[in-house]
Amino acid sequence: MSDTRMILVGGFLGAGKTTLLTRAAQRLASQGKLVAVVANDQAANLVDTGTLRSAGLYVGEVAGGCFCCRFDQFLDECGKLARESKAEVILAEPVGSCTDISATILQPMKDLLTEKYRLAPFTVLTDPYRLREVFSEGVSSNFPDSVTYIFRKQVEEADLIAINKIDLLTEAEIAELKAMVAKHAPGTPILTLSALTGEGVDAWLDCVLSETSAGTRITEVDYDTYADGEAVLGWLNATAQLHAAGQPDWDGFCLSLMEQMQGEFRARSAEVAHVKLLLATTGGRITVNLTATGGKPSLNGSAERTVQDALLVINARVRMEPDELQAVVERSVQAACDGQVEGRITSIASFKPGRPQPTHRYAGVVS
């Protein structure tokens, strides 16, 4: 049996998976453990990969589809990271619009790779806003049923459900959400945490490092509905080179860019699943996240004003057609680049994900 612990963390777009993995990896590294992380997306140029690498972590990337549809590539990346980093723990984050992870990833790994990895309970991280939107009676979602179907299936297949962002909640709200989740996922353990502040992260790590019951259930998934849900969203990944005159206010630039895009999404009633920016200079890094059209952008990090050149990475998953989304991003970058900043988009890809076609799908739980 291998000593490499594999911890997969799923959950819908904007749940905070990358923030949790970054904090968890840093906690483990501070305890002397060797850690690696695998990021995942439908296309290249990930904010997540840049964020994780900026934290000083060993990071691999599987692009072009979810782990389940790129299973062999996922295993190759894990093997490469294990060899290069000698990792004792590998943290992996599947695409936020994917479900059926137990049948397509956990069961094959339990069947074929028990000598290489010790699987942790599969954690599904949830956002309080999305929980209320999907599970509260009398509350309608801004997404169609095919999208909320994916969210429900993610919760249904979890070995462990973690409610994130408790720093934004009262004790009464936390209790209400736990009761709501327990009603829809009876018998599944529930933890609460804040990936941002670190509250509850140690308790979660204790659980996933010690427990061995992974992939304890398989849910029935209608792949037509699943495919329809993924295709609702337009996806965009873009990079740009920026040059500023004088001493640029990079924080202000990032917030202005996000607010430009958010204004266009509001005007079109286009619901945001997740939009994230990464601005990197030799003097620091800034990330900005938006997880709902009506939400407030959150900024983390900083960049020195003495550095005039920057790389910008934009990842957007929004309920609109890809060509419309691309036009919004291009206009917003142009608008944010006022007289102080010059910007040139160097790569941009906008698309809808194709139908999920997993490499494996097990019908039963592997003991």
Smallest CA-to-CA distance from 41 within 89, 92, 90, 80 is with 92
Q: Which residues contact 180 (CB under 8 A, 6 or more apart)?
A: 131, 132, 135, 136
Q: How far is CA 226 from the centre of its chain?
A: 18
pLDDT at 41: 80
pLDDT at 3: 78
Cα distance between residue 11 and residue 162, in whole Å: 9
HSE toward the beta carbon, residue 78, CA cutoff 13 A: 25
Cα distance between residue 159 and residue 101, in whole Å: 11
Domain 233-351 carries which CATH code?
3.30.70
Q: Which residues contact 183 (CB under 8 A, 6 or more apart)?
A: 135
* Class of residue 129 by CB neighbours under 10 A (exposed 0-12, middle 13-18, buried 19+): middle
Residues of the chain with pLDDT under 70: 1-2, 44-45
Positive/negative CA dihedral, 94, 96, 97, 103:
positive
Q: Running DSSP on this structure, what letter comes out for residue 123?
A: E
**CATH topology agreement for domains 5-229 and 233-351:** no
Q: Map residue 278 onto helix, strand or coil.
A: strand
Q: Which two tokens stand for residue 318?
A: 């929004």
Q: What is the pLDDT of residues 100-118, one digit of tens each?
A: 999 999 999 999 987 889 9
Cα distance between residue 98 and residue 147, in whole Å: 10
Instruction: For the chain, give every domain's residue range.
Output: 5-229, 233-351
Q: State which CATH number among 3.30.470.20, 3.40.50.300, 3.10.20.340, 1.10.150.120 fits the domain covering 5-229.
A: 3.40.50.300
Q: Which two tokens stand for residue 319?
A: 């309920």
Q: Map residue 82 onto helix, strand or coil.
A: helix
Cα distance between residue 336 and residue 283, in whole Å: 21
Q: Which region, left, alpha or beta, applies to residue 32 given φ > 0 means left and ψ of -120 to 50 means alpha? A: left
Phi, then psi, of 364 in degrees rounded to 5? -130, 160
pLDDT at 63: 87
Smallest CA-to-CA distance from 105 within 70, 152, 156 is with 70
HSE toward the beta carbon, residue 339, CA cutoff 13 A: 0
Phi, then psi, of 125 in degrees rounded to 5? -90, 135
Largest interatomic CA distance in the chain: 63
pLDDT at 311: 95
Residue 193: its H or E element: none
